[in-house]
Amino acid sequence: MTEHVLEVRDLVKHFPVRRGLLRRTVGTVKAVDGVSFGLDRGRTLGLVGESGSGKSTLARVLVGIETPTSGQVLLDGQDVARLSRAGRKQLRRDVQMVFQDPYTALNPRMSVGEIVGEPFAIHRVRPPGGRAAAVGELLELVGLDPGHVSRYPHQFSGGQRQRIGIARALALRPRILVCDEPVSALDVSVQGQVVNLLQDLQDELGLSYLFVAHDLGVVRHIAHEVAVMYLGRVVERGPSGAVYDGALHPYTQALLSAAPVPDPSVRLAGPSAADAPGGGAIVLEGDPPSPTDPPAGCPFHTRCWLAPLLGGGRRIPEPCAATRPALEPPRADGGHRTATHDDGEQHGHEHARDEHTGGGPAHLAACHFARPLPAPERVGS
């Protein structure tokens, strides 16, 4: 068993909600609530979820902007929290971040050379050949003209700015890049260029990516493994092909179904979509619940489309509302699993253990009734 480059064990990040004159804590936002995964060298883990799912908070914990409430982040098997000051500084060099919005991610009052060279200044590193040469090489690496070091961010287009952000992230030769929605603010025709650049860099430098996105298409394209988050938890995780072609969790199935596909025969509305057997596109009702007060039992049961069907009409099956499902492989017959007895307090300890069952990454889902969606139900005819 090889060691993961990055491993996260039962990570929790809660934010206190303070109100009033005395700033009393009146609640907790459970942004990340028990997440575990491992990331290998040269691989990409796609992290998919809607706003409020905690995917961005998780990314910020990993690059050290936020400190976890509990749980462990292991870098090469070493617990980051136990590192010395110097060790933590090294961690900053190993894990770098690429941001979503290319317009706010670069300081408008610094030149490109200053931006890309800043990591060297912060860490007081003198790259071989000098800082100016290193900056030039970085710009070339991401496909920009090294002659443009003295220009300012506003003179570049969105895609070019994202390249500058990538060059900055690569300056200290990190091994892991946390990409927080790196292409979602870009034009469609430019998105592909940046995705391809990231893939080339991965091949060339052996980088590992944690690729956070809400665009399922991009994630499928770039990720080897996918984790789907809902309300601070991973509800499904597995090899990208397995998750996309045989999603086990009803939330993942709804997500995949709701993403508009560029095919005019798949209507989002109208008789062909709504009345078709199987419901055509699965459209979830309502909004995700607040992470301050997640539902008891399965966090998804309030919006689940599958639960009422299983309960024979309006009723929701008892385990869904009562027990929190663990992230584990589905039962072979797809039927109801024995409920795991974790009661919110100590949930997730199982999660850490189910890491290495078998050789490759297993396909896991946190649902009592996890089963693949029968193919004919997906598109009405």
Choosing from 131, 148, 331, 353, the residue that interacts with other proteins (CB under 8 A) is: 148
Phi, psi of 46 (to 5 degrees): -85, 135
Find the shortest distance in angstroms from Cβ 369 to other proteins. Answer: 19
Is there binding between residue 156 and other proteins (CB under 8 A)? yes
240 binds other proteins (CB under 8 A): yes
Which residues neighbour 351 within 8 Å (Cβ) at sequence distance 6 or greater? 10, 34, 35, 36, 234, 326, 327
Of 50 and 342, CB closest to other proteins: 50
Contact pick of 154, 204, 277, 359 for other proteins (by CB under 8 A): 154
Tell me which residues in 256-275 interact with other proteins (CB under 8 A). Answer: 256, 258-274
CA dihedral (61, 64, 69, 73) positive or negative: positive
Shortest Å distance, C-beta 148 to other proteins: 6
C-alpha span between 243 and 363 (Å, rounded): 7
Smallest distance from other proteins to CB 125, Å: 11
- Which residue lies nearer to other proteins by CB, 271 or 344? 271
Contact pattern from residue 59 through residue 98 relative to other proteins, giving x for each residue in contact according to CB under 8 A and a dash for the rest: -x--xxx-----------------------x--xx--xx-
Report if residue 254 touches other proteins, rule: CB under 8 A. yes
From candidates 54, 119, 136, 238, binder to other proteins by CB under 8 A: 119
d(CA 153, CA 55): 28
Residue 241 touching other proteins (CB under 8 A): yes
CA 319 to chain centre: 27
- Indicate whether 35 belongs to the interface with other proteins (CB under 8 A): no
Q: Shortest approach of other proteins to residue 285 CB, angstroms?
A: 8
29 CB neighbour count, 10 Å cutoff: 19
Q: Which stretch binds other proteins (CB under 8 A): 68-76, 155-163, 314-322, 358-366?
A: 155-163
With binding defined as CB under 8 A, does residue 158 bind other proteins?
Answer: yes
Give min distance, CB of 346 to other proteins, in A.
Answer: 31
| 168 in contact with other proteins (CB under 8 A) | yes
**Least distance from other proteins to the Cβ atom of residue 255, Å:** 6
Residues 179-198 touching other proteins, rule: CB under 8 A, are 187-193, 195-196
Tokens of residue 86, six digits = 């110097």
Q: How far is the CB of 6 from other proteins (least distance, A)?
A: 15
* Smaller CB separation from other proteins, 288 or 317: 288
Spell out, one character per residue from 215 to 234, where the chain touches other proteins: x when CB under 8 A holds, - when not: xxxxxxxxxx----------
CB of 209 to other proteins, least distance (A): 9
Q: What is the size of the binding site for other proteins (CB under 8 A)?
A: 103
x/- mask, other proteins, residues 286-305, rule CB under 8 A, reads xxx-----------------
CA distances, 224 to each of 179, 221, 231, 239 (Å):
15, 9, 23, 6
Q: Render the burial of 225-239: b for 16+ CB within 10 Å, e for the rest.
A: bbbbbbbbbbbbbbb
- Report, in Å, the least distance between residue 333 CB and other proteins: 23
Given a contact cutoff of 8 angstroms between Cβ atoms, the answer to whether 136 and 150 are in contact is no
Residues from 312 through 341 that contact other proteins (CB under 8 A): none
Interacting residues with other proteins between 361 and 380 (CB under 8 A): 375-376, 378-379
* Site membership for other proteins, residue 50 (CB under 8 A): yes
